[in-house]
Each structure stands twice: as structure tokens, then as C-alpha cells.
Amino acid sequence: MSLLLNGVNQRISDMGSLEMQELLGKKDDLIHDLEEKLRLREDEITELRSQLDKFQSVIPYATAGASASTKGRARKTRAQGISAEPQALKTVQELAILSQTTFPEVPKSAR
């Protein structure tokens, strides 16, 4: 049985058990180091994308890089949301009652 280790075709029967464990250990260490480097790079990419998104939200789209392709497009508009607490059923019922209630009119001079 043949095994390809570090680009060299060697026979398992020719290698001692300790040599095989040593080579496998080195490969495991290399794999671990490369996985760690990959994880760090992915974290860095995520952080840079987050910063880019933050900067793009602050800098207006039209001035961020007006090239020939972006001159024809309209400026990006931001959606506006309403920030309010949801109204409970009781509050809705109270509003319905209040809408039917009439309040007395008070002249300005009496205020």
C-alpha cells in the first residue's frame, strides 16, 4: 500500500510506526496552523466589511465615488421607520371610547 506524504510516495511497510506518527503529527500541526490563519483572515474580512458598511451609511452615496456609471443613478434613499411601542388592546379600546367623547369648548379669553 502506498501513501503520498509531502510529495514523496512512500510505502507504509517501509516506515516505522513512530515515523508514521511523527509525520501525521506534523501534518496535523500544519493543518491546525493553516486553519487558525484562515479563521483570523475571515475575522478580519468580517470586521473590514462591517467598517465599510458603517462608512457607507455615513457618507452619502452620490459623493462616495461619482463615476460614469453612478452619475445616471438616483441617490440612495433611506427608509424611515416609526419608533413607537405597540398599543395593547386596552389602549385601542380606550382610544375608541375617547374618539366618541366630546369635550366642552373653552373660549381663549377664559383660559
- Whose grid coordinates read 483572515? 41
Q: What is the mean pLDDT of residues 30-38?
A: 97
Convert 87-99 to b/e letters by CB count within 10 Å (16 or more is b).
Answer: eeeeeeeeeeeee
CA dihedral 46, 48, 53, 59 (to 10 degrees): 180
Q: Is the pTM of this model over 0.75?
A: no
Residues 40-97 have pLDDT tens digits of 999 999 999 999 888 888 886 655 455 545 555 566 677 777 666 655 656 667 777 7
